[in-house]
Amino acid sequence: MTKLNIEGHDQWKMDEESGSIELVSKSEYEKYMLRIEAEQREKERQKTLQNDVDTLKSEMGDIKSLLLTLVQNQEKTS
């Protein structure tokens, strides 16, 4: 099974038979996995923040509606 170097990526090798690409350095693999996990955490954080913003927008709309109702009721009784 022959492994070919990938130009510009010393830590990566390509299996000539299957065409699969392998990372030959365990430390580089661990760094890669840490980056992937960090990206996933950041995406989840952004998703949570977006949900929070959406919730706040909805609640602000509810508050606005309640205030308008209070103002209209006050105008009717005055």
| pLDDT tens digits along 3-54 | 888 888 888 888 888 889 888 888 888 998 999 999 999 999 999 999 999 9
pLDDT for residue 78 is more than 80 = no
> What does the alpha-carbon distance between residue 62 and residue 54 come to, in Å, rounded to a whole number?
13
Would the CA dihedral through 65, 68, 74, 78 be positive or negative? negative
Token reading at 53: 């913003």
Count up the domains in the chain and report the number.
Answer: 1
- Closest by CA position to 20, among listed 6, 34, 39, 41: 6
Give residue 6's pLDDT.
85
Would the CA dihedral through 54, 42, 39, 37 be positive or negative? negative
Q: Which domain holds residue 21?
A: 3-77
Give residue 53's pLDDT.
98
